[in-house]
Amino acid sequence: MNKGSQCLKVYFEDPFWVGVIERQADHKLEACKITFGSEPKETELLALLPRLRELPFSPAVSIKVKERSKNYKRRLKESRRELQNASHSTKAQQALKLRQQELLNARKAERKEQKQAKQKGRK
């Protein structure tokens, strides 16, 4: 049984605060980007928890999972390093890009159908 994990990273992307939720399970990564107006409070972030299943996550991207060190001091150093590098991962960026491309293709197809329906209505 593979364990899954979720991670929320909040950062400032001029002019808005942005949150990226990364969900990992079975060597797959999914991501969801949430844009906040002003700096989000803890209560706003905690309010996201019940709605996690409803959020539009990107398609899954395969990832390599590193084995965790058994040495607790090394794990502590790794966790400190991760906290210093607060930006979202490149795999999460790829997943978000896939989601953006899917939405773009869906809008193109919808516009094409509307255009064809409009042309049939004229004839």
Q: How many domains does the chain have?
A: 1
Order the strands of the 61-62 sheet from edge to edge.
5-13, 16-25, 28-36, 61-62
Give this prediction's pTM.
0.55
Render each residue's pLDDT in the chain as its tens digit; 123 residues.
457 788 888 888 788 888 888 888 888 888 888 888 888 888 888 888 888 888 888 877 777 767 777 888 888 888 788 777 755 567 777 778 888 888 899 999 999 999 998 888 876
What domain range includes position 35?
Answer: 5-122
87 Cβ contact list (under 8 Å, min separation 6):
9, 11
